[in-house]
Structure 1
Amino acid sequence: MYPSLDAKHPPGHEPVSAAPAAAPSSTPGYQLIRRNGAVTLFDASKIVVALTKAFLAVEGSSAAASRRVHDIVAELTDQIVAGLTRRADVGRTFHIEDVQDQVELALMRGEHHKVARAYVIYRAERARERAAAASTALPAATAALSMTTADGVRVPLDAARLEAVLAEATEGLADVSAAAILLETRRNLYDGISVEELGLAPILAARTLIETEPNYARVSARLLGDKLRREALSFLDGRPVQATQTEMAARYPDYFRAYLQRGIAEELIDPELGGFDLARIAAALLPERDLQFDYLGLQTLYDRYFLHARGNRFELPQAFFMRVAMGLALREVDREARAIEFYLLLSSFDFMASTPTLFNAGTLRPQLSSCFLTTVPDDLDGIFKGIKDNALLAKYSGGLGNDWTRVRGLGAHIKGTNGESQGVVPFLKVANDTAIAVNQGGKRKGAVCAYLETWHVDIEEFLDLRKNTGDDRRRTHDMNTANWVPDLFMERVEADGPWTLFSPDETPELHDLTGPAFRAAYEAYEAKAARGEMKVSRQLRAIDLWRRMLTLLFETGHPWITFKDPCNIRSPQGHVGVVHSSNLCTEITLNTSNDEVAVCNLGSVNLLAHVTPEGLDRARLARTVTTAMRMLDNVIDINFYTIPEARRSNLRHRPVGLGIMGFQDALQVLRIPYGCDAAVRFADESMEAVSFHAISASCDLATERGRYPSFEGSLWSRGVLPIDSLELLSAARGRAAFDRSATLDWESLRQRVTITGLRNSNTMAIAPTATISNICGVSQSIEPAYQNLFVKSNMSGDFTVVNAALVRDLKARGLWDEVMVSDLKYYDGSVGPIDRVPDDLKALYATAFEIDTAWLIEAAARRQKWIDQAQSLNLYVANPSGRKLDETYRLAWKRGLKTTYYLRSRSATHVEKSTLKGTDGKLNAVSAVLAATSIAVPETAFGQACSINDPDCEACQ
């Protein structure tokens, strides 16, 4: 009843008379494997014909319908071809089923649900017919195939090795079948297949099974490991070499020496690593840890992290972790012992360093820091130096936060030219374009966030920067933006009072003042404006500006809302400067000035690895944090600084940011739903433990290495720890005290800190961990789960992600079957609407948009009391309204949060419900087409909250 891509005339259909849409540009060199094993040239025009028939069969063949179908089909075909060819590792050959998977995904993305439904039904019927008529001679036919080596020689396909690799990949994993993968693999084989394609075939076969059994993600990773071993060993040996995981275990030490020698020769590895005791180092490698990856994690490392020369990856996972560990141990006294200690921690996934550290440790340019914060002065030299600094810092994977508040506003007088300023926006446009030009060597896009204080006269234009309408010369479509909001503004919002905007050239001290001092100066300037003594000022209702801030946040996803006073009042370093902004991901709160560019060095503890069903494993956590803090402190001395202001700041204050990831995974081990008081208590308990051990470890480092130079006069030196600084914020606001409950011996630690000092001015910050959590196979940062079954897109491609814990629970209750998989797809990865799922599992596995936002804020507030910096806190609002957003962000401020990050919202999602089998199609499941209620949003506005799966939204990690 429905057209197939490989059938001349499907049952019940005659050729239609309407001319099909023109085929997209040709795709030379790509081949198609038919189901009978025959290989033909890939012809996109056949997709056009099939799609045209499909649409006309469902919608009719009138002239008007034909014209409409022509345009739709052309667009869909382009998407399908792009999906098939976008991944470099897929090779240049597609199976007919891969093409049909892409057709389904394109139809569902385009919301052509009737056509897609009919297509799915037709494919299922045809699959049943083929299964009934399947030949039992397939294994023998496969055994007779040949493969083509890299030098073009045809040799018999080694079916025995293929079966051995599959058996090894499935060994020790429950509910997976080597036979099932082999059957799917054979479907993709053809006579003369290249060795490269033969290596990919079982990987792609195993990937198709992940949605039904999460352990196939582990199998896919092991098969990718086989491909990587062949690539690495062949490159190092200069001839084709392959080794199974078992064989590699004995070869790893010799491989490591050859790898290190080649990396130094290729000028990719610091020659100083060759001076280590390599016998001792190589003997410490644990090849079996190659087996702990999920496919997403290993593919991410393969695509973006492993060293390569002339297109060949030659760095295996354990060599990668050891290279990073050695790079971080270069200045240690017993550097071999420390390198092994660091390696054992990294390769266990108990802790993971941030992406810049993983990229660059042990290389010739070890830029290991994650985040840089700058403040831009109010003169052309300073402005363009700031933009140049952005380029230099971004070149080696740094994320940037720029404070632009000092730049005078639109209409302000320019003494040198006797003219009027065009304001801050034109310079932001230049900064935006610079970030795009510097793409970090293709590893990820340059990324920057601009901050502006709420009293700046250009604030309303600043709010519009991410809009898709208006003068494009005054838009920054690729740069993040954030409001830097003083408490006084929020108080005026609460009281429905007035708010006055100024140009900073007339009010220079407002930039550096906080709390009561800011209030006094601001009110004095308001009085001057009322007397007509200010050249540039404008007054409006605070609530009107607040509503506009929330409207634009909802409409464009920016600017984020961050709070100036908590960041400064609770800053340990208020005695030597001012926090003028946060960073790209809103978790760093460090001082900036003309002379100092703030730098932060990040890493994250895997909380899942430190809990058991009985609770937090405190001894293991203490060991992890102690070693992690030493690694982060080492970054400061080893780091390659691209500008002197960054080096000066980092060596003077030595801040680091230890965070956490896998928070919701830990809750699920403990059987605690995210949205409840017990989850808030665990957020409190777990962060208290991390804080205690991080501060203690920095104190130990101060004993060994000396306190950081600017320690005297800091809150630390006065015995004021993060838990104590809550009282300072409470006093400044004149409000009731925040929760200050504690369970550990803080008084003893407080005395140690005041006597011994700390090695680091700041110790904690919770980053997004968008990529390193993928590497470790855990949930991102402190995030609730996005969905329990979805396709995740990032710079490595698209990956089926299944919540393995949910699957285990459903299996235990006899509920995991094909119907459950289908239901999860239909309900966008949520178990909430599925009747047969018990209520306790619905609560435990509730997804982000099923959890009231207030729970996220309450948990974050409990963490914030222990953290000397901030946390990247995304807020999920399933059905945003003006009232809901207003309540949410006022609550965040009242609870003392320093910052918030993305607002993620949705209404009618358009998830590909037909299939997740072809994971080359992007799933963007947070498409918010919403209408706010009490906030005025234009009828044509669409919610542009950052997609969960945006490949470019990798942030700091």
Structure 2
Amino acid sequence: MTTTRNEAAHDWDKPPFGNIPLTENQKKVIKDRYLRDAPSVEQWLWEVAKNIALAELLYHPDIPRDQILAGVKYKQEWVDVGNSEKSELLLIHSGVENHDEKDENHRRFISNMYKMLENSQRAREAVLKVANQFYDALANFDFLPNSPTLMNAGRELQQLSACYVLPIEDSIEGWGDVVKNTMLIHKSGGGTGFSGCRVRPSGDKVKSTKGVASGAISPFSIINYATQEVKQGGTRRGANMGILPYWHPDIKQFIKHKAEEGKLENFNVSVAVDSKFMNAVKNGEDYDLINPKTKQPVGKLNAREVFDMICEYAWKSGDPGMIWLDNINNSLSNPTPKLGEIESTNPCGEQPLLPYEPCNLGSINLSKFVVMGKIDYARLGETVKLTIRFLDNVIDVNNYPLKEIERIAKGNRRIGLGVMGWAEMLALIKIPYDSEEALEKAQELMRFISEKSLEASEELALERGVFPNFKDSIYDESGPYHKEWAKGRPRNCARTTIAPTGTIAICAGLQGGGIEPFFSIAYTRYNAKALDALKRGEKPKEEDVYHEVNPLFYSIAEQNNFFGLKPEELWKKIENNHNSVRGIKEIPEEIQRIFASAHDVNVEYHVKHQAAFQKYTDNGVSKTINMPNSATVEDIKETYMKAWEYGCKGITVYRDGCKSQQVLNTKPKEAEKKPKVAEIDEAEGVGSVYYKLETGYGPLHVHIDHHNGQVRKVFTNLSPIGTEIAGLTAMMGVLISKYLEMGGDVGAIRKHLNSIKSDKPYGFGPKRIESIPHAVSVALSKFLAQSGSLPGQQLLTAHVSEPAPEVKAQMSIV
């Protein structure tokens, strides 16, 4: 890269060098996702580098902590980690409950450190020394962190983690909490994973309401509905993972639920299994279904029949995948088993996490570490050391959405360093992807990265302390959970993860995301906006469509005079050859072999590559097993079984064309012209009543749509609009409506909302409003009493206006 380094001491706010060369697709994705108000790509990356380097101030012996924490509410704990050592746990969100106050408290924490850069030469030197190193890695695209870090570092949100797992409790209150927390995470750019393992099955009796439970799919459906309303960080669609264990009584409904178009479209779904289940599949044995509420068997299923169903629906729609929880919990993926068992992963499946645990990811661009056809292990090792420091710093400057998340994030200090550009590296060292030599090289490479990651984390531990939850972890030699293969006293409980790197791979100028082969030599990639347009039957805007031609292949073709063809003749031949170079006689065989596309690669090699990288990866590996449209259900059965036998922690297949829209297409299609369908007039015959209730947060407006005395929809709006609490209030009405649409019991909603209290009650005595949910319950009670559905003695009184004259109109959220 040709650059001019800025060495002037007074120009610390400017990037060290500029003129980063970018392709058109790099420019498009950076502008679409990351640039925002930054004047240039260079300035954006410099602000990211500086922001992450601020964490250096927390560990510098000559930097006064009182200046960093001036005016900040925080809690400092010193945790016993054995060997007569203690590690610091600094909790910035401790004692701050309100989300707006929490964000302001964290902004003050970050602002204090920026002020120190302005006022202290010592602080400036400490930060800029590391920031320059970070910037070199980012600007050369040697390494990129996950998208939330690139989007939010140095900006108002400052939410830097890619993925979280949230628990779903078996109650309406629990569902409400998880939806609220999911919205907060998606709003700030994160993705979420869930398990339905605690939710009682459909049809189970509910003593508190004398009704029946709606089952484990219901909370997923409600979260999906909420996700539709909230983009991640305002820039990308929300993403979720839904997992249900094979022993859950709702498992058959779960397996086939997503096959219907439009169901759980904001979710990836997987069935959680273990070796006991897989052996039962091989032997054709039955197993017990367990009610998670009572822990008692409630029936039996045949393991082979369930496995066959999983594979059948994976063939139809790409879902569900499978996840082996025993492989996860008995490995470095769960280094702190005292805190609990892992039950779910992030949306892409590569990051197993405990409840409330987040992870920040980053990936090394392997294409940058090949010199003269050989891997430059010396420079790669130095980059691993630098990036482990980068990811550890992220933990300290991150603004966590919930205090529970902050505690486990800083207690475990889990990070996920991975790779991208594996296909490019193999092409540069002239090894075919579908070869045993490639599998050997994969293990060699990942073993090196894993060892260097542990070394770097141990060095950081000497400087900053081991992770605070070290005691009784698998590393603790004096503890009951110690494993012989868990070595050292690291700063981070787990260090390596292979992520899919979809967007950041394009940002880095790659076509080989994660450890995937090239999808095709030439193809079209759609972003979220383009996919939405295709769903509507519209042609996507050109700015949302990325036309890709493999730059490595183009360069080699150009050097070889396009193999005696005109360029357009070569591209036409490739297009007519299923976008593959293999089998085109003009192209030398050696070049054909090293430019394998996803559909050239035998399925077994896809699985073997995942297993090869998994062997030396602490967390998990994201790998889509791409299959041709002609693949059969039997092919998928064989693939899933081999993945287990090879020691993978999870598996997902994708049969080309099994969904109506897909992110990558080898040959772009014009959007089908669809006639516009007239909207159903729900207002016809639907009545609506309006209540206004005073709350501690301001006036609450409740509109209840009804038909034949039955509540159909509830709309809840809080004045003034535009605040976070107003947005959450509006979403509460949306979720109540969705729950009722799914057959939910309005009486159960009324009862559960009635029990919720807040820090801002309104009024006194029988007319006291305890919270916004309580006010909604009062309005529902009023309506039900007036419609004759609720005995008068059960009516809840409060400061509520009488309903306005009934109108035949459909209400909408303001």
Q: Which TM-score applies when normalising by structure 2? A: 0.68
Q: Is the 8 A contact 1:281 1:336 kept in 2?
A: no
**Kindly tell me: are residues 373 and 907 of structure 1, through their superposed partners in 2, closer, same or farther at Cα, counting changes over 3 Å?**
closer
Residue among 286, 298, 303 paired with 2:32: 303
Tell me, yes or no, if structure 1 residue 665 matches structure 2 residue 424. Answer: yes
Q: Is the 8 A contact 2:169 2:175 kept in 1?
A: yes
**Kindly tell me: are residues 877 and 613 of structure 1, through their superposed partners in 2, closer, same or farther at Cα, counting changes over 3 Å?**
farther
Residue correspondence of structure 1 range 26-37 to structure 2 within 5 A: none
In 2, distance between residues paired with 1:909 and 1:580?
Answer: 31
In 2, distance between residues paired with 1:659 and 1:830?
Answer: 28
Pairwise CA distance, 1:345: 1.0
Q: Which residue of 2 aligns with 1:862?
A: 612
Q: Is the 8 A contact 1:790 1:802 kept in 2?
A: yes
In 2, distance between residues paired with 1:603 and 1:590?
Answer: 16
**Kindly tell me: are residues 768 and 910 of structure 1, through their superposed partners in 2, closer, same or farther at Cα, counting changes over 3 Å?**
closer
Structure 2 counterpart SS, 1:875: strand
**Kindly tell me: are residues 693 and 543 of structure 1, through their superposed partners in 2, closer, same or farther at Cα, counting changes over 3 Å?**
same
Structure 1 counterpart SS, 2:204: strand
Residue correspondence of structure 1 range 156-171 to structure 2 within 5 A: none
Q: Is the 8 A contact 2:320 2:652 kept in 1?
A: no
Q: Which residue of 1 aligns with 2:266?
A: 478
Residue correspondence of structure 1 range 143-162 to structure 2 within 5 A: none
Q: Is the 8 A contact 2:498 2:622 kept in 1?
A: yes
Pairwise CA distance, 1:558: 1.3
In 2, distance between residues paired with 1:719 and 1:665?
Answer: 45
Residue among 639, 646, 660 paired with 1:888: 639
Residue among 803, 807, 813 paired with 2:554: 807
Tell me, yes or no, if structure 1 residue 459 matches structure 2 residue 251. Answer: yes
Residue among 449, 465, 469 paired with 2:241: 449
Pairwise CA distance, 1:706: 0.4
Query: CA-to-partner distance for each residue in 1:203-235, whole Å, 9 max, x for gaps?
Result: xxxxxxxxxxxxxxxxxxxxxxxxxxxxxxxxx
**Kindly tell me: are residues 477 and 354 of structure 1, through their superposed partners in 2, closer, same or farther at Cα, counting changes over 3 Å?**
closer
Q: Which residue of 2 aligns with 1:286?
A: 17
Residue among 332, 336, 346 paired with 1:573: 336
Residue among 498, 511, 515 paired with 1:766: 498
In 1, distance between residues paired with 2:473 and 2:279?
Answer: 28
Structure 2 counterpart SS, 1:600: strand
Residue correspondence of structure 1 range 191-340 to structure 2 within 5 A: 278-282=10-14, 285-288=16-19, 290-291=20-21, 293-308=22-37, 314-333=38-57, 334-340=126-132
Coordinate RMSD, CA, aligned: 2.9
Tell me, yes or no, if structure 1 residue 420 matches structure 2 residue 212. Answer: yes
**Kindly tell me: are residues 278 and 389 of structure 1, through their superposed partners in 2, closer, same or farther at Cα, counting changes over 3 Å?**
farther
Q: Is the 8 A contact 1:701 1:758 kept in 2?
A: yes
Pairwise CA distance, 1:867: 1.1
Q: Which residue of 2 aligns with 1:898?
A: 649
Query: CA-to-partner distance for each residue in 1:653-680, whole Å, 9 max, x for gaps?
Result: 1100001000010000111111110010
Q: Is the 8 A contact 1:487 1:565 kept in 2?
A: yes
**Kindly tell me: are residues 559 and 908 of structure 1, through their superposed partners in 2, closer, same or farther at Cα, counting changes over 3 Å?**
closer
**Kindly tell me: are residues 670 and 719 of structure 1, through their superposed partners in 2, closer, same or farther at Cα, counting changes over 3 Å?**
farther
Tell me, yes or no, if structure 1 residue 377 matches structure 2 residue 169. Answer: yes
Q: Is the 8 A contact 1:324 1:362 kept in 2?
A: yes
Q: Is the 8 A contact 1:792 1:922 kept in 2?
A: no
Q: Which residue of 2 aligns with 1:542?
A: 303
Query: CA-to-partner distance for each residue in 1:70-94, whole Å, 9 max, x for gaps?
Result: xxxxxxxxxxxxxxxxxxxxxxxxx
In 1, distance between residues paired with 2:175 and 2:146?
Answer: 29
Query: CA-to-partner distance for each residue in 1:41-70, whole Å, 9 max, x for gaps?
Result: xxxxxxxxxxxxxxxxxxxxxxxxxxxxxx
Q: Which residue of 1 aligns with 2:411?
A: 652
Q: Which residue of 1 aligns with 2:282?
A: 494
In 2, distance between residues paired with 1:678 and 1:405?
Answer: 41
**Kindly tell me: are residues 908 and 396 of structure 1, through their superposed partners in 2, closer, same or farther at Cα, counting changes over 3 Å?**
closer
Query: CA-to-partner distance for each residue in 1:891-945, whole Å, 9 max, x for gaps?
Result: 001111011235243599999xx999xx99689xxxxxxxxxxxxxxxxxxxxxx
In 2, distance between residues paired with 1:587 and 1:702?
Answer: 25
**Kindly tell me: are residues 904 and 609 of structure 1, through their superposed partners in 2, closer, same or farther at Cα, counting changes over 3 Å?**
farther
Q: Is the 8 A contact 2:607 2:642 kept in 1?
A: yes
Moved more, 762-771 or 786-795: 786-795
**Kindly tell me: are residues 620 and 825 of structure 1, through their superposed partners in 2, closer, same or farther at Cα, counting changes over 3 Å?**
same
Q: Is the 8 A contact 1:378 1:408 kept in 2?
A: yes
Moved more, 786-795 or 766-775: 786-795
In 2, distance between residues paired with 1:485 and 1:315?
Answer: 49
Q: Which residue of 1 aligns with 2:377?
A: 618
Residue among 178, 185, 188 paired with 1:396: 188
Tell me, yes or no, if structure 1 residue 783 matches structure 2 residue 516. Answer: yes
State the structure with more CA Rg.
1
Tell me, yes or no, if structure 1 residue 632 matches structure 2 residue 394. Answer: no
Query: CA-to-partner distance for each residue in 1:688-726, whole Å, 9 max, x for gaps?
Result: 111011111111110000000111222233499xxx97x
Q: Is the 8 A contact 2:190 2:233 kept in 1?
A: no
Amino acid at match of 2:549: V
Identity %: 28
Q: Which runs of 5+ in 2 are unaligned?
A: 58-125, 529-542, 673-814
Structure number with the higher strand fraction is 2
Structure number with the higher helix fraction is 1
In 2, distance between residues paired with 1:640 and 1:442?
Answer: 17
Q: Is the 8 A contact 1:787 1:847 kept in 2?
A: yes
Tell me, yes or no, if structure 1 residue 793 matches structure 2 residue 543. Answer: no
Pairwise CA distance, 1:540: 2.4
Pairwise CA distance, 1:832: 1.9
Q: Which residue of 1 aligns with 2:594?
A: 844
Query: CA-to-partner distance for each residue in 1:8-51, whole Å, 9 max, x for gaps?
Result: xxxxxxxxxxxxxxxxxxxxxxxxxxxxxxxxxxxxxxxxxxxx
Query: CA-to-partner distance for each residue in 1:592-618, whole Å, 9 max, x for gaps?
Result: 2xxxx0100011001111123442211
Q: Is the 8 A contact 1:691 1:764 kept in 2?
A: yes
Amino acid at match of 1:763: R
Q: Which residue of 2 aligns with 1:582?
A: 345
Query: CA-to-partner distance for each residue in 1:770-818, whole Å, 9 max, x for gaps?
Result: 0000011112110111110122222551122111222233344441522
Tell me, yes or no, if structure 1 residue 341 matches structure 2 residue 73. Answer: no
In 2, distance between residues paired with 1:685 and 1:672?
Answer: 14
Amino acid at match of 2:398: N
Q: Is the 8 A contact 2:579 2:666 kept in 1?
A: no
**Kindly tell me: are residues 845 and 910 of structure 1, through their superposed partners in 2, closer, same or farther at Cα, counting changes over 3 Å?**
farther
Structure 2 counterpart SS, 1:900: strand
In 1, distance between residues paired with 2:649 and 2:41?
Answer: 37
Equivalenced residue count is 580
In 2, distance between residues paired with 1:278 and 1:873?
Answer: 46
**Kindly tell me: are residues 907 and 305 of structure 1, through their superposed partners in 2, closer, same or farther at Cα, counting changes over 3 Å?**
closer
In 1, distance between residues paired with 2:264 and 2:552?
Answer: 41
Q: Which residue of 2 aligns with 1:361?
A: 153
Amino acid at match of 2:546: F
Moved more, 671-680 or 570-579: 570-579
Q: Is the 8 A contact 2:324 2:650 kept in 1?
A: yes
Q: Is the 8 A contact 1:790 1:828 kept in 2?
A: no
Amino acid at match of 1:774: I
Q: Which runs of 5+ in 1 are unaligned?
A: 1-171, 173-244, 255-276, 309-313, 508-524, 530-536, 729-749, 924-957
Q: Which TM-score applies when normalising by structure 1? A: 0.58
In 2, distance between residues paired with 1:346 and 1:608?
Answer: 14
In 1, distance between residues paired with 2:375 and 2:338?
Answer: 36
Q: Is the 8 A contact 2:453 2:496 kept in 1?
A: yes
In 2, distance between residues paired with 1:626 and 1:873?
Answer: 25
